[in-house]
Structure 1
């Protein structure tokens, strides 16, 4: 008997699983509130150089004052970073003689800037414009560096200390560091606290996905994965509404961080993963949670059918006394191939998703409505991918969504910019495909790694994805070399990662692997959903301990 059979005895997918998905929806909603917050707290308002009060002539309009002191760009707008060294009185009489910015009579803004928008952002707080505009984008890169570190840290810690405990730790630190970020008195303090916040938030993300999958039976894994992903889009939409109502960046940070307090309270009702408990040999605790699941799902006979002794036999087969690390992701041949292919796939998924998101132009709307539309576009893409994954499988879905993303980017590269409407439609389609690829990757990754390495595997893939997310905005700077080079790079990465996805194992209708031996020998064996008691892989011998498996691989290597 395997754990999948035990979960079916406890009701498979019932009210207990629905309650877990509801509890885990909160961290999924919180994540985009922070991951995409930079669009609003670091928005660059219209600005120009500040003019000293003593330099201002009396009885002059604001427009004439700007003509006297602020030069104009070639497009006719007032310069954001330059001012005249001396007032140009003649411009009030002869407007057409406005001199260009490269004139020796201009200088940088020595007295700071005046911001013409009511929204108060970190840009206005610390004057992150002109010569310091790089610090604005650097704050996002620093945040993603923290997220990258969090993928490694929480992947290891949640496999060692449990999903539930580390989810609580992630909630607590997210709440504390979010409030510290809101109270920052300097750019340095803000950047450091946001980076540490990224570590904690990444813990929320990877643990939530793992828990939602490990409590759900095989038949409903796709549904659980898509529902979890949908809550991200809900948070994305909510962010535009909250940001519209709160214009001060400090209070906006407080508003999006406060739900973490509810998350801390929700841990009281959230059960630990029974798969992880069995792998760690905590059979009695696993049995307690499974009894609770069975009672909630109205399966009163569970206790008589599944005893602690039965779970102990399952736990003994899962090699409970072996400690695993990220090195084990490359220990055996199948895992090594899977991990290398998964890294390329995840890099392409994240790189193309953030690359498209950063390059898609709006629909002629303000930033709030544009953000709202982008979030709403994700929902039909995720709903559609639910049916596709269940019909054609995970591997082909993952590969073709990436290839279609590459095709969308490539087509937009050759379409003239004068055909703006066509480019916008194709760009939106590309974003939909990239979002579908992201949704598939999140569920797919939880299925091809065994329980003993699942959190490490997700952490490893999340690490690669966050590295890609950090590099995606920097790729835009390549347009100084060739205007089409960024799009060519995004297209090429998506194409290569899509082709690499074909090398990953198919996991549709297969049991979640529990041990490394399951991956080596059983991954890819399809389950008969009509007669689940007739499993094609049941005749495979008992699970081989990791040490024995390592010796076998070593012997084969020596022979070669």
Structure 2
């Protein structure tokens, strides 16, 4: 028989006939395709950002993904929709990482955490706005158009924002740095400081390491310190994404209005941003990341040990674990940005983020562990992964309140006490 839908809402599932049991796998494929697209796009955007600049890459990703999503809204069958889902996820995957790097390269060390926490708060705000639009239009095509048209406004950022001066300097574009500083001085009504016309150290660095523009990966492999640092960071990223998305999938669906529930779930991320600021201000990067990973891992095991009769206590412990791993996400972004040089920062952050997608792709499969090895096997896996990541975090160099390294040599000198890097 044919499905009859009483709800006036039009979704991809209802319009393309995907609600029957035989076609439900197609709906789950959308999420898999999105993750796969990000897996491909994240490292590409990092290389582009290191080669052509942070501002250009940010604008290209934002405007390009907006155009693709608008075109996706005109899909006349499911496979056309899936194709644009893949393309848009590839292009959009670099927006957050590149924007984050651009912002961090503008701030003084003592201000990074504060401004990063403020920047992060806008993510749940955007999610809440999407939920409000969806509850109003109840049509997936119109939702895609309304939520992506604002992305076209990023074209104005060519005039409204400046390129990362730290990146410009490492590229030997000293004149553009001077021009940018002049504009900033005029806007802020401050006198322009006397600066040398040329920065010799940067020119030498540019000359010695110009091959990094040809192959950043070769530079990374030439430096065992940077290479093994990237490997360790990557595992922490994989563990963080595995635990976060695994806990998200494992959470029981909340009854009630789905738009309101989504908005509330997004809203609670704001306190996590504020908690992230408080923790990183009061503790070192390594200690803060280690503590929240340990908290998440321990509460996973505590959840297993608590009896089913203490349902509310188990739910509270579950949410504490999820909150802790959400904070870990923020800290690992900051730490990764601070311990790699400007020449390859975007590439390294994107590489770690790409490998982190392995965790998000594995997370849906953890439900099978519960079916074959017992219901608590997924939580055991999450606990072990988080605790191993915490231990590995302590082998990374400390980066709180340091000057961002511009060259490989400067990055190698961070945390000389790190025994694995001697």
TM-score by length of 1: 0.70
What are the within-5 Å matches in structure 2 for residues 477-492 of structure 1? Answer: 477-481=368-372, 482-492=374-384
1:316 maps to which residue? Answer: 204
CA distance in 2 between counterparts of 1:391 and 1:352 reads: 25
User: What is the DSSP-based 3-state SS (H/G/I as helix, E as strand, rest coil) of the residue aligned with 1:351?
Assistant: helix
CA distance in 2 between counterparts of 1:363 and 1:126 reads: 26
CA distance in 1 between counterparts of 2:185 and 2:175 reads: 15
What are the within-5 Å matches in structure 2 for residues 331-342 of structure 1? Answer: 331-342=222-233
Across the two proteins, how many residue pairs are aligned to each other? Answer: 414
CA distance in 2 between counterparts of 1:174 and 1:376 reads: 25
1:255 maps to which residue? Answer: 146
Equivalent pair of 2:295/2:324 in contact (CA under 8 Å): yes
CA displacement, residues 257-301 of structure 1 (integer Å, 9 cap, x when unaligned): 111112222332111111111111111112211222233344304
Once the two structures are overlaid, the 10-residue window that deviates more, 232-241 or 340-349, is 232-241
1:125 maps to which residue? Answer: 15
In the superposition, relative to structure 1, how do residues 371 and 418 fare at CA in structure 2: closer, same or farther (>3 Å)? farther
Equivalent pair of 1:395/1:501 in contact (CA under 8 Å): yes
Equivalent pair of 1:394/1:508 in contact (CA under 8 Å): yes
User: What is the DSSP-based 3-state SS (H/G/I as helix, E as strand, rest coil) of the residue aligned with 2:94?
Assistant: helix
Equivalent pair of 1:279/1:320 in contact (CA under 8 Å): no
1:381 maps to which residue? Answer: 272
CA distance in 2 between counterparts of 1:344 and 1:177 reads: 32
Alignment partner of 2:133 out of 235, 238, 242? 242
Alignment partner of 1:152 out of 43, 68, 80? 43
| Shift of residue 330, structure 1, vs aligned partner | 3.5
Alignment partner of 1:345 out of 233, 236, 239? 236
Greater C-alpha Rg: 1
1:10 maps to which residue? Answer: none
Residues 1:516 and 2:401 are matched in the alignment: no
Alignment partner of 1:499 out of 391, 398, 402? 391
Residues 1:206 and 2:123 are matched in the alignment: no
What are the within-5 Å matches in structure 2 for residues 2-81 of structure 1? Answer: none
Unaligned runs of 5+ residues in structure 2 are: none
| Shift of residue 386, structure 1, vs aligned partner | 0.8
Equivalent pair of 1:346/1:461 in contact (CA under 8 Å): yes
What do you get for the CA RMSD once the two structures are aligned?
2.1
Equivalent pair of 2:59/2:157 in contact (CA under 8 Å): no
User: What is the DSSP-based 3-state SS (H/G/I as helix, E as strand, rest coil) of the residue aligned with 1:380?
Assistant: helix
2:354 maps to which residue? Answer: 463
Residues 1:232 and 2:120 are matched in the alignment: no
| Shift of residue 395, structure 1, vs aligned partner | 0.9
Equivalent pair of 1:112/1:127 in contact (CA under 8 Å): no
1:162 maps to which residue? Answer: 53
User: What is the DSSP-based 3-state SS (H/G/I as helix, E as strand, rest coil) of the residue aligned with 1:113?
Assistant: coil
User: What is the DSSP-based 3-state SS (H/G/I as helix, E as strand, rest coil) of the residue aligned with 2:405?
Assistant: coil
1:113 maps to which residue? Answer: 3
Equivalent pair of 1:330/1:339 in contact (CA under 8 Å): no
Which structure dedicates a bigger proportion of its chain to helix?
2
CA displacement, residues 205-240 of structure 1 (integer Å, 9 cap, x when unaligned): 111011000111111111122122111121222232
CA distance in 1 between counterparts of 2:45 and 2:235 reads: 21
| Shift of residue 433, structure 1, vs aligned partner | 0.8
Unaligned runs of 5+ residues in structure 1 are: 1-110, 527-552
TM-score by length of 2: 0.92
CA distance in 1 between counterparts of 2:376 and 2:236 reads: 23
Greater RCO, CA 8 A, separation 6+: 2
CA displacement, residues 315-362 of structure 1 (integer Å, 9 cap, x when unaligned): 434546232423433432221221111011001111111111222225
Equivalent pair of 2:102/2:164 in contact (CA under 8 Å): yes
Once the two structures are overlaid, the 10-residue window that deviates more, 232-241 or 451-460, is 232-241
CA distance in 2 between counterparts of 1:198 and 1:308 reads: 42
CA distance in 2 between counterparts of 1:150 and 1:210 reads: 16
